[in-house]
Amino acid sequence: RVELCGRIVSCARLTSPYSHIACAWYSFKIQKRPAEGRGFYETLSSGSSGDLPFRLDDGTGSVLIQPAGAEIDVQPEVTSLGDGERAIEWVLPEGNMFFVLGVAQRRTAIGEELAVGVSNSDDVFIGSAPAMAR
């Protein structure tokens, strides 16, 4: 287990679909308020940027972070879409400081394939416990 803190660096250029924030990762839900205006919002759809890795740079170096199976705890961005609909996004903005608690692993040890923006020299990454990510 490792604990790291550093700035988020994208491996692939992403922009969150509703708040349009340059980021390394995002997840969203589209919700609609009931017609009578009371009660809970209903989730219509959801999605994310997937499991693309990103880097965490602490000023002395950087390491790959694999978000597969991770619990990402950030304040959501809420965007009104009109007609009682809203988008709720959880975003990891490029350049923001971030804390990671995970498991240091070797990609070659678990047969992990290379992702976009990842070089052959990136053998070590931080992710969820191997059993949790599968």
- Confidence (pLDDT) at 128: 82
Q: Are 30 and 89 in contact (CB under 8 A)?
A: no
How far is it, in rounded angstroms, from Cα 102 to Cα 68? 11
Provide mean pLDDT across the span 123-129.
Answer: 83
Tell me, what amino acid is at 74?
V
The model's pTM is 0.81
pLDDT above 80: residue 131 = no
pLDDT above 90: residue 130 = no
Provide mean pLDDT across the span 1-21.
Answer: 95
- What's the pLDDT tens digit per position in 76-115? 999 999 999 999 999 999 999 999 999 998 876 545 555 5
pLDDT above 50: residue 133 = no
Query: Which residues are 77's β-sheet partners?
Result: 89
How far is it, in rounded angstroms, from Cα 21 to Cα 13? 11
Nearest to 18 by CA among 55, 54, 43, 48: 48
Q: What is the mean pLDDT of the chain?
A: 86
pLDDT above 50: residue 14 = yes
pLDDT above 90: residue 31 = yes
